Structure 1
Amino acid sequence: MRYEQHCPIALAAEVVGEPWTLLIIRELLHGSTTLTDVARGVPSMSGGLLTKRLRKLETAGLVTLQPPERPRSAELTEAGRELSAVVETLGAWGARWLPPPRHGDLDPALLLRDIARGIDRSALPANAVAVHFRFAESPGPRWWWLVLSRTVAAPTVHDPRLPQAMRIDCTLGALARSGSVTRTGWKRCGRRPS
Structure 2
Amino acid sequence: MAPRPPQQKVVTLTDPRAIRALAHPARQRVIDELYGGAVLTATEAARLCGLTPSAMSYHLRALEKWGIVARDEAGDDARERPWRAAARDLRIEHTAHGRSTPMATKAFTSTFMAPMLEELEAWADSDRRGKDDGTAMSRGRLWLTTEEAKALVDQVVALMEPYEERTAADHPAGAAQFSSFWSLLRRPDDAAAE
Give the structure-1-normalised TM-score. 0.39
**Higher-RCO chain (CA-CA 8 Å, sequence separation at least 6):** 2
Q: Which has the higher strand share?
A: 1
